[in-house]
Amino acid sequence: MVIKSIVKVSFIFYLLNAVSLFAQDSENATDSSSVSTADLAQAAANPIANMISLPFQFNFNFNQGPFDRFGTVLNLQPVLPFKLTKKWNVVTRTIIPILQIPDVYSTSGSTSGLGNTNFNAFFVPPAAGIFTYGFGMSMIIPSATAPELGGDAFGIGPTVVALVMPKPWVVGFTAGYTFAYKSPDGSDALSSFFGQYFITYNLKKGWNISTGPTITGNFNAPEGEQWVVPVGAGIGKLMNFKRIKAPIKFSLQYYYNVVQASQTPGTEIIDLAHDPLQPMGNANQSLVFYITFLFPR
């Protein structure tokens, strides 16, 4: 356990050092546009901003199952806003997970492939000062390439997001409920809740401190295994590169599940590890590394 802890801490410092080196390379470009960088940092923390972005979320999940297995989840999360009327926008966010799920009841073996896709569409009215909100629908699309990576039920439900942006803060929450619309064999009943609070404090020169844990509930799971509740936080940096026209936001966060659902052998419920809204699943703790390409208009 001591060796594992040392490896984890070393990995964290390695990524932090890499971010610092990137920051040194782009320091001049950031300083020369400090005002626009501050505005862009605020918009980058807004999940329904009128801005195209392409986030890559790398999740390194530790301590899964009785043998403390390790797994990974890469979420591709393109965000595309559209003009609905002169004042209203529609902001879509799609989560496409690429999974490597270990066999938690064995010391070896895993399954890799594409998981179920989550699509969200928010109707966003004009902001009222520092307050903005959106509402719409969330869909779970059965795109998993293996049964271990997700069920075959098509899910749909309402979702909402609200936030305030008093500089340098961005504080808000998003929540939704998804139920099964179609399940071919009836075994993949889906009744799940997700909620996320997010807090970002933007510092000078594009740096920020943030937290954004996703809380999920699977109401079809046995009692005591319905909820996943992580806590944690991390740091990030918004940078401009001379050779890349799109600004890039880097972020490194650590999360620990204070409430954790476990896999139950023989059950036919949707496991939270296969939910694209909860990449930690039944992991005990996770490192999350974001790389987000921003395309401001």
- Of all residues in the chain, the percent with pLDDT exceeding 90 is 50
SS3 (DSSP) at 248: strand
Q: Taking residues 86-102, report their average pLDDT.
A: 94
- Residue 283 falls in which region: left (phi positive, over 0), alpha (psi -120 to 50) or beta: beta
pLDDT confidence tier of residue 21, bands split at 50, 70 and 90: very low
pLDDT, residue 224, reads 75
**Is the pLDDT higher at 249 or at 22?**
249
**Is the pLDDT higher at 244 or at 194?**
194
SS3 (DSSP) at 264: coil
pLDDT, residue 188, reads 54
pLDDT, residue 245, reads 76
Q: Taking residues 200-221, report their average pLDDT.
A: 91
CA angle 7, 12, 18 (to 5 degrees): 125
Instruction: Please give the model's pTM, rounded to 2 decimal places.
Output: 0.82
Least reliable range by pLDDT among 26-30, 35-39, 196-200: 26-30
Q: What are phi and psi of 124, to 5 degrees?
A: -120, 115
Q: Could you give the number of structural domains in the chain?
A: 1
Q: Taking residues 94-123, report their average pLDDT.
A: 91
Question: Is 192's pLDDT higher than 90?
Answer: no
CATH number at residue 29: 2.40.160.40
pLDDT confidence tier of residue 217, bands split at 50, 70 and 90: confident
Q: Which domain holds residue 156?
A: 2-295
Q: What are phi and psi of 86, to 5 degrees?
A: -65, -25
**Is the pLDDT higher at 111 or at 21?**
111
- Under a CB-based contact definition with an 8 Å cutoff, are residues 69 and 79 in contact? no
pLDDT, residue 157, reads 93
Q: What is the pLDDT of residues 220-240, one digit of tens each?
A: 777 777 888 999 999 999 998
Q: What is the pLDDT of residues 51-73, one digit of tens each?
A: 999 999 999 999 887 788 899 99
Q: Which residues contact 70 (CB under 8 A, 6 or more apart)?
A: 60, 61, 62, 64, 102
- Of all residues in the chain, the percent with pLDDT exceeding 70 is 78
Mean of all residue pLDDT scores within the chain: 81
pLDDT, residue 259, reads 85
pLDDT, residue 218, reads 82
pLDDT, residue 296, reads 87
